[in-house]
Structure 1
Amino acid sequence: MTLNLFDRSALLFLPASNPRAIAKARASAADLVILDLEDAVRPEDKIAARAAAVEAVGSSWPMPVAIRVNGTAAPEHADDLAAVTASNCDLVIMPSIRSAADISALTKPVAAMIETAAAVLDASAITRVCQALIVGTNDLAADLRLPAGAGRGSISYALQHVVLSARAAGIAAFDGVFNRLDDPEGFAAEAAESRALGFDGKTLIHPDQIAPCHAAFAPSAEELDRARRLVAAASGGADRFEGAMVEAMHVAAARRLIARYG
């Protein structure tokens, strides 16, 4: 099964152990919901969370639903994979990937979380066995031993490398979460930076982040109008358009924008 992830900018994480969060996510405008069995779930709740996630994906959802399993080093990993593979989830989220070997045997569509230095360096190989890359910025910063408050500039190479690897493979790439729930301006700025870097969307940790995420990744009215004007003016070769030289690649990009946003 192929799941189109390019048109899904807002990916919402929530603990599979929280039935209220699941109900709220089902009614949200998220483009993809990720039921988490890993970081968001306490150790004593892991088994119950797995059962709840499998039950949740057994019913109808208005959007695709993924399940994030526990990592390969976790004692729950094998049981998570068995349960999730047999479930009706649309996508498996694999955390703490170190190499393509960690996911090459999975039979369901997979999104690989790039959370370690090893995964960043092996990103090109990982793209061959998955449908999307997701940067786990918090874990990546920890793996790189960055000081608290180091900022995203410290991982700029990793972010760009993930996007480059995904684009070269023709798969989607998603930026990591923004932790400060009481800083909507900060979220909006980081989401805008994500789009500028080439990410297809961003992972979220609260439903309140969905609308600003959509806004950050959507084109402005002027950007969309310009795309329409460019397509209308295109002659099939190199053209002078509104003071700039444009070619077929610019027209193709404009058509993609129009196809998604009208």
Structure 2
Amino acid sequence: MFAPGLDTVRQQAALESGPDVIVADLEEFTSPADRPAARARIVTLMAECRARGIVGAVRINKLDGDGLDDLRGVMPGAPAAIFLPHTETAAQIQALDQQITALEREFGLAPRQTEIVPTLESARGIVATAAILSASTRVSACLLAAEDLSADLDAVRGPDGIELHAVRARFLVECIAAGCVPVDCPFNYQDATALAADLAWARRIGLKAKCTVYPHQVAAIHAAFTPSAQQIAQAQDMIGRYEAARDGKPAGGARVDPPDYNTARRLLARDARLREWAQASGDTALS
């Protein structure tokens, strides 16, 4: 969930929407004149996130812009991750890594505790994904943009999202190959039906995380990417029927084919991982 760096009303709405991560934005959603005050506010916001069991992160500006001042201003708040916009080269990540390392030392933070999340917003960034994601051990996730990427591609936007399907699928493959979590691009239309269809498509191809700037979308995203009680029960039943038939026992019900059996097993494995994460983070939503 992205929130402006200085707007406390929108930050509070973000906190109350129940996201897994809040990204305080110093780039697109904070004017240059407001950035000094926003950096100080974000230090407080990071503490508020931790108090609620929410991961607190910050999107800074590019290092050749206000990024170095942003970084110095927010690092006393110990953000869990720094998002770097318009990433196109491995060198950008390496330079950010060096700056974070120096500031962790200066502010007495645990070394290597701050992750880096590159944001891919251009064709050049997409084709360099492998190099970008392997540029630093701090990189464990990557974010795909929507509007700047669409502008770079000269894509015609629409609520069905077909103009970005190919690049989103490629982004997923690149991230999985690099061992990074792919964070899908935001859905920027105010159309609940189209959002549901977009989330279903994203989950179908394997995406499991998505960003948003709208607090009211958080619940829909969680519902799409978190196995429901009904889905878990169906998966357990499917696995039971498949394994009974495989072992020559009475299975009952319709035939279960191997692809559906394997999908069911992955769903249960994902549910188990989410429950482990919830227990570790103190989140009772899955209990």
Q: Which has the higher contact order (CA 8 A, sep 6+)?
A: 1
- For the Cα contact (< 8 Å) 1:54–1:84, is it kept in 2? yes
Q: Residues 1-262 of structure 1: matches in 2 within 5 Å?
A: 12-59=1-48, 60-62=50-52, 63-74=54-65, 76-105=66-95, 106=97, 107=101, 108-128=114-134, 129=136, 130-147=139-156, 149=158, 152-181=161-190, 183-232=191-240, 243-246=255-258, 250=263, 252-259=265-272, 260=274
- For the Cα contact (< 8 Å) 1:175–1:202, is it kept in 2? yes
Gap regions ≥5 residues in structure 1: 1-11
Q: CA deviation at 1:81?
A: 2.1
* Structure 2 CA distance for aligned equivalents of residues 193 and 246 of structure 1: 21
- For the Cα contact (< 8 Å) 2:156–2:163, is it kept in 1? no
Change (3 A) 1:40 1:239: farther
Q: What's the secondary structure of 1:22's corresponding residue?
A: helix
- For the Cα contact (< 8 Å) 1:194–1:201, is it kept in 2? no
Structure number having the greater helix percentage: 2
Tell me how large the CA RMSD over aligned residues is: 2.8
Q: What's the secondary structure of 2:22's corresponding residue?
A: strand
Q: CA deviation at 1:64?
A: 0.7
Paired residue type of 2:34: D
* Structure 1 CA distance for aligned equivalents of residues 165 and 64 of structure 2: 27
* Structure 2 CA distance for aligned equivalents of residues 221 and 87 of structure 1: 38
State the partner residue of 2:279: none
Q: CA deviation at 1:177?
A: 1.4
Q: CA deviation at 1:190?
A: 1.7
Give the alignment's TM-score, normalised by structure 1: 0.83
Q: CA deviation at 1:17?
A: 1.0
Paired residue type of 1:211: A
Q: CA deviation at 1:233?
A: 6.0
Change (3 A) 1:73 1:152: farther
Q: CA deviation at 1:23?
A: 2.2
Q: What's the secondary structure of 1:219's corresponding residue?
A: coil
Identity among equivalent pairs (%): 26
Rg (Cα) greater in structure: 2
Task: Give the 4+ runs in structure 1 shifted more than 6 A.
Answer: 238-241
Give the alignment's TM-score, normalised by structure 2: 0.76
Task: Write the deviation string for residues 134-191 of structure 1: whole angstroms up to 9, x where unpaired.
Answer: 110111011112345496323322111110011112221111112223x222222222
Paired residue type of 1:68: R
Task: Write the deviation string for residues 40-78 of structure 1: whole angstroms up to 9, x where unpaired.
Answer: 11222122212211232144432111111112342x111
Gap regions ≥5 residues in structure 2: 102-113, 275-285
